[in-house]
Amino acid sequence: MKKLTLEKILQSQGFGTKKSCRYRVLDGLVEVGGEVVDDVLAEFDPTDLAFAVDGEPWQYREHVYLALNKPTGVECSRRPAVHRGVLSLLPDQFTARDVQPVGRLDHDTTGLLLLSDDGNFIHAQSHPKRHVPKTYAATTAEAVTSQLVARLTVGVKLIDEPEPLAATARQIDTHRVEITIDMGKYHQVRRMLAAAGHNCVALQRTAIGVLTLEALGLAEGEWCYLDAAQIALLKAD
């Protein structure tokens, strides 16, 4: 990759305007290889470049791919209307570099959410024709029965829509059922459960494709970078 000045590297990573990044360098706030670099004309190969800004370590990434365990009461929007936005859970640098949610979770749904600034990745993961499977754990007010599981896998009738069905469904415990769907209709899981006579009182997305929240080990509100192997699994689905 072509060498870039440090101010351009910082700007590409979301640390502000070119001018503000230049002053970070001039003020001695940027380190490369453990050494302060205050020369604005110094150039570096950004590929896998490790640096620190104000003492916080960072690594150059052409694009970022993130996983977040979204808590309840958070909107998947850059312009939230009622609740706080999901980007408030991330460092400001990600907002500056236009990181966006890949699809959406309702404000009262928790669990696995992907975010990225790679438009091609977002489009590929969100396109309905791709049928990316997503798995949810739903808690119901009524006891889960074998009849409910059967109805979900056969299909339930929703108003003005074809009968959606779960790709898989299984009972987790007395009041929880795991449902995998490969389409993303509005409130689909909650509406399917309601059509089958069960009120969904809590909903958590536990997996996207083969990427699971359990394997990521994220507590609610926590996020992490996805590594190359995890990204490849998502792209391969």
Are 4-59 and 133-208 the same fold in CATH? Answer: no
- The length of the chain in residues reads 237
Q: What kind and span of H or E run contains 51?
A: strand 50-53
* CATH 3.10.290.10 for the 4-59 domain, yes or no: yes
* Distance (Å) of CA 88 to CA 3, 83, 91, 93, 100: 32, 11, 8, 11, 12
Highest mean pLDDT among 30-44, 67-81, 123-137, 143-157: 30-44
Least-confidence region, from 13-17, 61-65, 93-97, 164-168:
164-168
Say yes or no to pLDDT of 197 above 80: yes
Confidence of residue 70 (pLDDT cuts 50, 70, 90): very high
pLDDT of residue 82: 76
Least-confidence region, from 16-25, 148-157, 218-227:
148-157
For the question of residue 106 being annotated catalytic, the response is: yes
Share of the chain above pLDDT 70, in %: 96
Say yes or no to pLDDT of 65 above 80: yes
Q: Do the beta carbons of residue 14 and residue 97 sit within 8 Å?
A: yes
Q: Is the dihedral of CA 20, 21, 25, 26 positive or negative?
A: negative
In the numeric block, the tokens 């391969």 are attached to 236
Catalytic member of 48, 106, 117, 173: 106
Say yes or no to pLDDT of 147 above 70: yes
pLDDT tens digit string along 15-63? 999 999 999 999 999 999 999 999 988 999 999 899 999 999 999 999 9
Fold adopted by 133-208: Alpha-Beta Plaits (3.30.70)
d(CA 116, CA 66): 6
Which whole number is the average pLDDT over 80-101?
89
Say yes or no to pLDDT of 185 above 90: no
More confident residue, 129 or 52: 52
Say yes or no to pLDDT of 217 above 70: yes
Give the relative orientation of helices 146-154 and 188-195 as an angle to the nearest 10 degrees.
120
In the numeric block, the tokens 């990573």 are attached to 13
Class of domain 65-129+213-236: alpha beta
Least-confidence region, from 83-87, 156-160, 179-183:
156-160
Domain residue extents for the chain: 4-59, 65-129+213-236, 133-208
pLDDT of residue 164: 66
Confidence of residue 129 (pLDDT cuts 50, 70, 90): confident
Confidence of residue 162 (pLDDT cuts 50, 70, 90): low
d(CA 68, CA 114): 6
